[in-house]
Amino acid sequence: MYLKKLSISNFKNIEQTNLEFSQNMNCLVGNNGEGKTNLLDAIYYLSVTKSFFNSADRQNIKHDENYFIIQGSFVRNENEEKIYCGVQNGEKIFKRNDKQYSRFADHLGLIPLVMISPTDISLINDSGEERRRYLNSVMSQLDIVYLDSLVKYNRVLMQRNKLLKQIKEKNDVIAVLDEQLNEYAQTIYQKRKQFLEEIQSYFTQVYRQVSNDNEQVSITYKSDLNENNFIDLLKCSFEKDCIMQHTTTGIHRDDIIMRMNGYNIKKTGSQGQQKTFLIALKLTQFNFFKQQTGISPILLLDDIFDKLDLHRVQHLISLVAGNDFGQIFITDSNKTRLDKILEQQKNSFSLFNVEKGQIIKTE
């Protein structure tokens, strides 16, 4: 899988560009704020149908314009896939080979992609909501049953929370909603548990490869359902739910516990260790996608070398430049560092200079 051509109009600070890429490594160099990350986000849009950074589509339209268009030509299993995304006047249109999707969810998984960004630090520093959002994003791209169960669970949860604001004692409607919540929750819980158990070994292996250290790292699944029956939990928490006016237990409160040497990495990990932890997690996601689809995802590395020592940078590049990886996009504001990385490359690569939204391929 690789992106052959990309066309962008009025996306963030990129007014107009038409680009062709290497099947292997593509490097974008330029100062901060010039548009390197915006280009990666445009590629991300064509895979996931939304921005990696801004949830509101209109926030991604160039100032003083009323639309943006992103078009990409991908090669997947030797077949060309033309993907179109256009946003105008609050309406988003997504097409595959000129045929418009009726549901954006139907596109997920067609263009497997993994993005590693400085904003990933929110997975460590922010609340469990960020980690659940990440988990849902990863699993929804490859498992339509998971996505469908998640959508239905959230819909029933909204109905239950609305009803909790109106009643003071349990009734038949609550009982029915509880049964529905339990049905969808069991599917989501089992799939999350299986996923995190399956990736644990590979995750620790990748962390050691990148860091070349002996720190013991782990990711474990925290859920109300680990040791409890969900229906019983809902019954026991009903009075509290009525007071709080929302459902206080369930898989919508799940979390991923991230540890290094047995302690929460948020409290004990250095900036370099935390960044290495997140890179290892995203590369584990890459491996999971590849195992499930048989296709190497496109890998987007956005300004990831900051806070990493040269030793870790070298280990990371030697890892992702191997045969197990496919097309890679790298951004960096440090041209000297990027030149050293490219000097070690045996595969073909393309280099682009980015300045004020203008992207120019260099020799």
Where are the chain's structural domains? 1-112+295-363, 125-291
- Alpha carbon distance 333, 348 (integer Å): 21
CA distances from 16 to 34, 113, 149 (A): 14, 24, 40
Residues 6+ apart with CB under 8 A from 35: 12, 13, 14, 354, 355, 356, 357, 358, 359
**Residues 246 and 157: beta-carbon distance below 8 Å:** no
pLDDT of residue 168: 79
- Helical H runs in 212-309? 230-236, 238-244, 265-268, 271-293
Residue identified by tokens 């590693």 is 116
pLDDT of residue 161: 96
pLDDT of residue 257: 96
Neighbours of 350 (CB within 10 A): 18
**Residues 333 and 326: beta-carbon distance below 8 Å:** no
Distance of CA 246 to the CA centre of its chain: 28
**pLDDT tens digit at each of 363 positions of the chain:** 899 999 999 999 999 999 999 998 899 999 999 999 999 999 999 999 999 998 899 999 999 999 999 999 999 888 999 999 999 988 999 999 999 999 998 999 899 999 999 999 999 999 999 999 999 999 998 899 999 999 999 999 999 999 999 987 888 999 999 999 999 999 999 999 999 999 999 999 989 888 877 789 999 999 999 999 999 999 999 999 999 999 999 999 999 999 999 999 999 998 889 988 999 999 999 989 998 888 899 999 998 887 777 777 777 877 777 667 789 999 998 888 777 777 776 677 889 999 999 999 987
**Residues 110 and 94: beta-carbon distance below 8 Å:** no
Task: Please say whether the structural domain 125-291 has been given the CATH code 1.20.1050.90.
Answer: yes
Residue 257 token pair: 């516990």
pLDDT of residue 262: 92
**301: nearest Cα among 324, 281, 320, 274:** 320
Distance of CA 244 to the CA centre of its chain: 32
CA distances from 346 to 140, 335, 343 (A): 35, 19, 8
If you classify domain 1-112+295-363 with CATH, what class do you get? alpha beta
CA distances from 74 to 6, 31, 77, 124, 302 (A): 9, 28, 10, 33, 20
pLDDT of residue 322: 67
pLDDT of residue 254: 97
